[in-house]
Chain A
Amino acid sequence: MSDGRDRVLARVRRALADVPRGERPRDVPVERDYLRTHGARTAGETVDLLAGNLADYRAVVHRTTEDGVGELLARLLSRRGAASVLVPPGLPPHWTAAVDATRVHDRAASTPWELDAVDSVVTGCAVAVAETGTIVLDGGPDQGRRRITLVPDHHVCVVRVPDQVVGSVPEALERLDPRRPLTWISGPSATSDIELDRVEGVHGPRTLEVVLLAAGEGGRAADGG
């Protein structure tokens, strides 16, 4: 093993014989004059952009407030006909208090087959990116292990707005911790492999619903779905 290592590194060094000896990696210039965000927006406009881009990639977007979130989630799950719903350990209990479906908790010993038998999963998120219509999960207590948002066919993701929403990809990376397993999700699973027709739903959840949860009362309770 160390053989291969020495060989490859020696080849790399020989190949770079033209690089001046004193040059350090930082000496190679990288201009970062690209934009940090594309356009100026208020917090509210950033949330609107997120909603628009999520919908553009066929996520179903809903808006609610702390007062309405329990009722909305109950409604989404019953409309889906979900008999069981996976709940990460740190999900605020009042979010799913009104839900009829059986709550299933992810255990270390849960097999993929067990997860496959669950209808829906409800999670929070780490951050959402408005310009790209992306939600990012980092395995936090309200999101759970990666597998629980992968195997069930229906994922409901709650985004606290405007706090968890950033404008752009650079802003998102700044907020994320690379030591955590990260999943960036932009719309439901899709493929264009057959004559380039976009088909939703191959292996990941075929339905992605995103709930934009505004702090406090008085937010728009309008429901996109």
Chain B
Amino acid sequence: MSGTYLGMPAFPKAARDAVRNGTLRGNLRHATHTIRDKRARAVAELEDWEELRAAGKAIKDRTLRHLDHHLVRLERAVTAAGGTVHWAADADEANRIVTALVKATGESEVVKVKSMATQEIGLNEALEAAGVRAYETDLAELIVQLGDDRPSHILVPAIHRNRGEIRDVFARRMGRWGRAAPEGLTDDPTDLAEAARLHLREKFLRAKVGVSGANFMVAETGTLVVVESEGNGRMCLTLPETLISVVGIEKVVPTWRDLEVFLQLLPRSSTAERMNPYTSMWTGTADGDGPRDFHLVLLDNGRTDTLADEVGRQALRCIRCSACLNVCPVYERAGGHAYGSVYPGPIGAILSPQLRGTGSEVDASLPYASSLCGACYEVCPVAIDIPEVLVHLRERVVQGGEVTRQGVRVTLRPARGHAAERAAMRAARWTLDHPGALRAGQRLASRTRRLHPERLPGPGRAWSDTRALPKVPAESFRDWWQRTRGGAR
């Protein structure tokens, strides 16, 4: 992986700094609680949520178990529809491919719609080095980019900024990259959105090259799907002459019909809406409508290494809804930046160490950045058992063992006594030393108690044999209160 986050301190240090930052903590708390409650209501509207969730999980498992088959099928369908498919084994390869494609158009700027895959590979930096300016067009990404900042939440990357800070960033920085913010800009969200609209519109209208990711790719038809809210995605996907989409290989689904599951699961889990404002679907190129040239770059970059781990591979089911972030008591306290990766929160804690390996202190400490309360598993629309993978990865850090790195099987040495283990144990202690963080998860934890045996069976056993797991009370105070009072109602 590219070194976007090189020099990142291990989780506990970064988390401690974040906890000291009062604004950050206040923003995060407000944000996570707001989305969390809304999501619960949106999910409760569908009486078949559990069946949809099971189907979403099963479709992803079906895909992953035969990923080669589906990728080849996808390639054939995209090519038949007029697109060109490229394959990139790692970040450097993907960056080289995209840079060459942009260079071939003769353009020196591109408009981008939010894509975690391109953040993961550090595409903007690679383009910059080649003399190409990449403009982020999501409101939140724009805030992050103008503020020379890093995103802290999958869905709301600027969640750590409040309106006053956003106003200041816009007023100070917009003029440097194009149309300046209007005089006397207030911190009213409507005003801020208007400023962004004006600033970005001139970029959209003149853009010749667009860069995107995709939420889903349909193997059967070659269709790509982008789910969004603001309309910047539609702009980037429709107006440029050349479109380049960089998509992780795990984003493929077998059939058109499979979308009926994910288009119900994703909006409700992520923005808590029945449906997000805009979803674009396109298949190759269309005559006279949209880009003349379409390139799909299929990205591995650690995904096949993750796939090789029979316990860890379930992380590849993730549809990046961010529901697990919003319920995570550790994320709420520590903030997204502490995870040192584009993938924060519970999903980041299991995905980053698998994509990048546990060689660095921050990656080795990530599996410990959790109280194992199980809330993330409960809300996950594709039922990823995040606690199970966390325990599995902890064991890997402590015990060592067989893993796949860049396609090669290697044996990791146990991290005992290493800086990595020390970082990991500090993270564990940090997590356990924050009863406030734990309390928030307690209610859910009690309900998912089966996930918290004192000694873990199977692969987790070695880890739990040597490390005391946090004790989870049989019934939290809140549950008891609700049960005893609830009976009276």
Which residues of A does B touch, CB under 8 Å? 1, 4-5, 7-19, 23-25, 28-35, 38, 53, 57, 108, 111-113, 116, 129, 131-134, 139, 145-147, 150-151, 169-170, 173, 178-197, 199, 201-205
Shortest beta-carbon distance, A208 to chain B, in Å?
9
Inter-chain CA distance A1–B286, complex, in Å, is 25
Shortest beta-carbon distance, A175 to chain B, in Å?
12
Shortest beta-carbon distance, B294 to chain A, in Å?
11
Inter-chain CA distance A147–B235, complex, in Å, is 8
Q: Quick one: given A7-B89, A146-B290, are A199 and B162 in contact (CB under 8 Å)?
A: no
On chain B, the residues within 8 Å of A139 by CB distance are 286, 289
- The answer to whether B304 touches A203 (Cβ under 8 A) is no
Inter-chain CA distance A4–B71, complex, in Å, is 13
- The answer to whether B274 touches A131 (Cβ under 8 A) is yes
- We find that the number of chain B residues with CB closer than 8 angstroms to chain A is 102
Question: B419 on the interface (CB 8 Å rule)?
Answer: no
Question: B342 on the interface (CB 8 Å rule)?
Answer: no
On chain A, the residues within 8 Å of B81 by CB distance are 179
**Contact pattern, B 274-297, Cβ under 8 Å of A = 1, otherwise 0:** 111111111100101110000000
Q: Quick one: given A10-B407, A15-B307, are A196 and B30 in contact (CB under 8 Å)?
A: yes
- The answer to whether A180 touches B88 (Cβ under 8 A) is no
On chain B, the residues within 8 Å of A4 by CB distance are 86-89, 93, 97
Q: Quick one: given A181-B289, A196-B35, are A203 and B232 in contact (CB under 8 Å)?
A: yes
Inter-chain CA distance A38–B20, complex, in Å, is 47
Which residues of B does A touch, CB under 8 Å? 27, 30-31, 34-35, 45-48, 51-52, 54-55, 58-59, 61-62, 65-72, 81, 86-89, 93, 97, 137-140, 143, 156-158, 162-163, 166, 189-190, 192-194, 196-197, 200-201, 204-206, 218, 221, 223, 229-232, 234-235, 238-239, 249, 254, 256-257, 259-261, 263-264, 267, 271, 273-283, 286, 288-290, 298, 300, 304-305, 307-308, 310, 313, 404, 407
Contacts A11-B304, A173-B263, A203-B204 aside, 11 further interface pairs with beta carbons under 8 A come to A19-B65, A25-B62, A31-B58, A116-B205, A186-B273, A188-B277, A194-B158, A195-B162, A199-B192, A203-B235, A204-B231
- The answer to whether B229 touches A189 (Cβ under 8 A) is yes
Q: Quick one: given A28-B65, A183-B278, are A11 and B89 in contact (CB under 8 Å)?
A: yes
Shortest beta-carbon distance, B428 to chain A, in Å?
29
- The answer to whether B260 touches A12 (Cβ under 8 A) is no
- The answer to whether A186 touches B65 (Cβ under 8 A) is no
On chain B, the residues within 8 Å of A12 by CB distance are 67-68, 71, 249, 304, 307
- The answer to whether B89 touches A35 (Cβ under 8 A) is no
Inter-chain CA distance A116–B196, complex, in Å, is 16
